[in-house]
Amino acid sequence: MNKTDLITNPYENLYIYYFEGTFQKDLTDLHGNNFIGNWEEDGYSFLFFSSPLDDSFVENLIIKNPDLHFIDKYEMTCEQWHGNKIESYTTGVFSISPPWKIPFINNPDLKQILLDPGVVFGTGRHPTTEDCLGYIEQLCTEKQISRVVDIGTGTGLLSLGAAALGCEKILALDFNFLAVKTALNNVRLNGFEDKIIAIQARAEDFISLPADLVIANIHYDIMKEILKDKTFLNKKYFILSGLLKSETEKIFSELKKKPVEIIDHSCPDGVWNTIFGKSENI
């Protein structure tokens, strides 16, 4: 029996506690209370649990973390949180499934990827993610791509896709600790520990690494900064995604100043843009 056969959806119901402030103490002692994780961003924290907490538990959290201010609590399903269904789907050569709902695949050409999104946004159904996977597939079937840097990895799906297509050395970065934990879990689920390293880091600190491919499905504010770095051109190929129309125009303007070739540009829904290109320096 495969180890994933016994996995059930651990996020059927989510109980979310919203705080202003961030936790200064280790939260590992919350694991016994069905603690799923803590999402921290812009000075706010979201604690996720699979069962509700009593009021005294929340009060004790605040006593132990006096800089916190409790704002609200929510109850919803995981699919409500993600904004779409968590189910198996196929895109290009990839069959992507949650580990608790694995379909039987009778197609040796498909690359099966197990994806447990947890409470991190990134089930793979966003058009930018599918565009990135499409370009990864196109590139890896035409060229030998070994070293990849995946900036803003989230659940790790793009790194998993690259590994499934034969890339051997992949660095998956995210500044959010819960995203890195989620990506690491997915790396282990797929047995790619020898190919993917997932770390919590700033994109600016690792953009200088030479690589065959850099993938950046991130906010424009971060992307514009990494494009200013001359070492961006240490990458043979690049996939830039997560861009709205006005942001895309600014990125194109910046790329025109560099010795690069735009291979393709995709905007299937008329909203979200993805740019695929290569450096002419290498």
- Residues of the chain scoring pLDDT < 70: 1-7, 26, 28, 31-33
DSSP 200-239: E--GGGTTTS-EEEEEEE--HHHHHHHHHSGGGGGEEEEE
| Fold (CATH) for 3-82 | Alpha-Beta Plaits (3.30.70)
Q: What span, in angstroms and rounded, lies between the C-alpha atoms of 217 and 251?
A: 13
CA distance 176 to 46: 12
| Strand order across the beta sheet in which 273-279 lies | 196-200, 169-174, 147-151, 211-217, 235-243, 273-279, 260-266
How many CB atoms lie under 10 A from the CB of residue 195?
Answer: 19
Percent of the chain whose pLDDT exceeds 70: 95
8 Å CB contact between 146 and 168: yes
Angle between helices 220-228 and 245-255 (to 10 degrees): 0
Rounded distance between C-alpha atoms, residue 238 and residue 234, angstroms: 10
What is the secondary structure of 8-51 as a DSSP string?
--TTSEEEEEEEES---S--GGGGGGTEEEEEEETTEEEEEESS
Structure tokens belonging to residue 171? 């660095």
The domain locations on the chain are 3-82, 119-279
- pLDDT per residue over 6-30, tens digit each? 567 778 899 999 999 998 776 767 7
Most distant CA pair in the chain: distance in Å? 61
Q: Report the 10 Å Cβ neighbour count for 109.
A: 6
> pTM for the full model?
0.92
pLDDT digits (tens, 9 = 90+) for 145-177: 999 999 999 999 999 999 999 999 999 999 999
CATH architecture of 119-279: 3-Layer(aba) Sandwich (3.40)
Q: What φ, ψ does residue 98 adopt, rounded to 5°?
A: -70, 150
Tokens of 169: 């050395």
- For residue 121, the model assigns a pLDDT of 81
